[in-house]
Chains A and B, each alone.
Chain A
Amino acid sequence: GQQLNQSPQSMFIQEGEDVSMNCTSSSIFNTWLWYKQDPGEGPVLLIALYKAGELTSNGRLTAQFGITRKDSFLNISASIPSDVGIYFCAGQLGGSQGNLIFGKGTKLSVKP
């Protein structure tokens, strides 16, 4: 089945630093999504990408849909303590087979 490789697995950064994480796959996706999960909660959608090459921002977060449609990255600029959590990428095929396929997540820790 399809798999997503998400890296890094975890990151320990200082407040104010920029963060970058990415997902790659051997499969082509029609949609890439980035979620954040806080401790004890379900994942919350941050950014959705629908076209190859698309670059979308949500505040300090920027994500891109790779040209090959097999990868995506998420950048967080000027990190703050509340950015702590687990970030998941998810790829979606189209149509009735459009179930989301999730990466294993990147655990972000921010030191004040």
Chain B
Amino acid sequence: ETGVTQTPRHLVMGMTNKKSLKCEQHLGHNAMYWYKQSAKKPLELMFVYSLEERVENNSVPSRFSPECPNSSHLFLHLHTLQPEDSALYLCASSQVLGGRGGYTFGSGTRLTVV
């Protein structure tokens, strides 16, 4: 496999459920990111990891909890979400933090909170 792979592609969860989104990159990149994409809004950066260490948390509610066990894997743990959290969640990676080559994105997880 190549590139950035996200699973699941679609997820429907109730507000009391706990679920996790998974991201895996096979590019040898050192930085990974979680973005939230809602309709009619710019991509919102949620979390940034560099060499498995969290370097940025953009005022994201604690019901979103990231985990980066190694530089190839990134998780987003979800619990007690709200309907307004429904969105496309995108994972991305880059060679290094702040590297100029741009980010490689996964296909995203379409999350619906009911």
Contacts and interface: CB of A to CB of B under 8 A. Distances in A.
Interface of A: 4, 30-31, 33, 35, 40-45, 48, 50, 88, 90, 92-105
Contacts of A88: 43
Contacts of A95: 98
Given A41-B108, A42-B107, 4 more contacts: A45-B102, A103-B42, A104-B40, A104-B42
Given A40-B107, A41-B107, A99-B45, A50 B100 contact: yes
Contacts of B55: 96
B42 A98 contact: no
17 contacts: A4-B42, A31-B100, A31-B102, A33-B102, A35-B105, A41-B108, A42-B4, A42-B6, A48-B101, A50-B100, A92-B98, A93-B98, A98-B99, A98-B100, A99-B48, A101-B42, A103-B42
A76 B6 CA distance: 30
Which of under 10, 10 to 19, 20 to 34, or 35 or more describes the interface residues of B?
20 to 34
Nearest to A104: B42
Contacts, number: 63
A101 B103 CA distance: 11
B111 interface: no
B35 to A, nearest CB: 8
Given A88-B43, A99-B45, A42 B102 contact: no
Contact of B56 (A4, A41, A92, A99): A99
A96 B105 contact: no
A43 B35 CA distance: 11
Residue with the greatest number of chain A CB neighbours at <10 A, chosen from B6, B40, B97, B98: B98
A51 to B, nearest CB: 11
Nearest to B41: A104
Nearest to A88: B43
Interface in B18-39: 33
Contacts of B98: 92-99
A100 B99 contact: no
